[in-house]
Amino acid sequence: MGIERQEALEALNDVAQIARRVRQSRIYQLSSLLMVMWGALVMAGNIGSSLWPRSAGFLWLGVHVTGIAASFALGAVSYSRTGTRTFDSRMFVAFLLFIAFGIFSCWLGNFNNPRQIGTFWAIYFMLVYTVAGLWVGLAYVAIGLSITALTLIGYFFAGEWFEPWMAVVNGGGLILGGLWMRRS
């Protein structure tokens, strides 16, 4: 069986394209569970902040500590099943640096009300999703930009319903985004 250069090129192109799709599909599968888990935590954080505004700082600290611990646990389970790490010590350090820069920005920007702080953190996290999406898949970009837009709508128009709004669009958005990625 003999074939020409063009047919060989097309066949190799198909192979490369499928390999790319498999990699992306695996990233989506593995990260969707993390996204759903963070979505549930963010939803709980926003509902908690709305019900107990004075304890919001502690609540969010609890959300982040729980989220990091659960991310490590999910990472360990996924590693034992698939040999792929979804959350390792390098990501943990990156996460700490990201949080530290966020705290510094809040201090520098003199954000002094929960609405500003809530909007900043949501948009800041979604910026990471959007930028990461440029490399790992457009689903991340779509989720990042949609939640950013909905957060800004909430900031300007949700009034005293800002925190419930954020529970739905930020927490709910991540949960729906994670489920959508699982199917794609």
Residues at the interface with another protein (CB under 8 A): 1-5, 8-9, 11-12, 14-15, 18-19, 21-23, 25-26, 81-84
- Name which of 11 and 153 has its Cβ closer to another protein: 11
Distance in Å, CB of 73 to another protein, minimum? 19
Q: Please, what is the end-to-end C-alpha distance for the chain in angstroms? A: 37
Distance in Å, CB of 80 to another protein, minimum? 9
- Name which of 4 and 160 has its Cβ closer to another protein: 4
Distance in Å, CB of 31 to another protein, minimum? 16
- Name which of 55 and 82 has its Cβ closer to another protein: 82
- Name which of 78 and 151 has its Cβ closer to another protein: 78
Cα–Cα distance measured from residue 50 to residue 162, given in angstroms and rounded to the nearest whole number? 9
- Name which of 10 and 57 has its Cβ closer to another protein: 10
Contact by Cβ (8 Å): 107, 129: no
Distance in Å, CB of 127 to another protein, minimum? 30
Distance in Å, CB of 17 to another protein, minimum? 8
Output the DSSP codes for the chain.
Answer: ----HHHHHHHHHHHHHHHHHHHHHHHHHHHHHHHHHHHHHHHHHHHHHHH-GGGHHHHHHHHHHHHHHHHHHHHHHHHHHHS--SS-HHHHHHHHHHHHHHHHHHHHTT--SHHHHHHHHHHHHHHHHHHHHHHH-HHHHHHHHHHHHHHHHHHHH-GGGHHHHHIIIIIIHHHHHHHHHHH-
